[in-house]
Amino acid sequence: MRIVLWSVILAALLAGCSTTNEERVLLQRYEKKKHYHKKLLKTEKVQLYEGDLTKVMLTATYLNTSPAKEDAREDERFVVGLYVDDETEASRAFDFNLTLNGREPKSITPLKQGDRHLKEISFVTEWNRFFLVTFPYVEEERFDLLFESEKYGKGRLNFAKKAKYTFTKKAF
């Protein structure tokens, strides 16, 4: 009886520790969309409210990768998605203000729905308007994208040039 019991326990342990087909499929799917998942780590979202209703939602994805060279001083680039609940406000999308550490953008370029930048990021919907926003180079490793609306207030998105968890000394 003991031999049968120990055999069942041993078989359960070995079966539980083995790699299953589902895990392999999951890893293969991850590898196919690895670039998408890396962009997802560099995406932030902010919502502006009127009462309990979301009136404006902004998503921003930081496009710059970690610089290979320390002297690389390229502009800071973001894909920004803007959703406005009110259609009259949506037609005035440029009435909103966007700054990076208090500095105005160098350029704001509207993106079409099939643009290559939108294929690599999350939160792409047909209700959003998308823009490629370029800011001057920022020296700091951490920076804030401030989104302001006269009607709905402001929201802050926190970004970093490297993984955010490297800036905290706390254990998770």
pLDDT in tens, 12-26: 777 765 566 777 887
Q: Report residue 136's pLDDT band, with 50, 70 and 90 as the boundaries.
A: very high
Residue 150 has a pLDDT of: 86
Residue whose token pair is 């729905």: 113
Report pLDDT for 46. 94
Predicted TM-score (pTM) of this structure: 0.75
At residue 32, does pLDDT exceed 90?
no
Note the pLDDT of residue 117.
86
Reported as a single tens digit per residue, the pLDDT across 43-60 is: 899 999 988 888 899 999
Strands, sheet with 76-84, edge to edge from the N-terminal-most edge strand: 43-50, 53-62, 76-84, 129-135, 107-111
pLDDT at residue 166 tops 80: no
- Between the alpha carbon of residue 144 and those of residues 53, 85, 138, the distances in Å are 25, 24, 11
Mean pLDDT of the chain: 82
For 37, the 3-state DSSP assignment is helix
Measured at the CA of 147, the angle between CA 74 and CA 39, to 5 degrees, comes to 50
Domains of the chain with bracketed CATH? 35-167 (2.60.40)
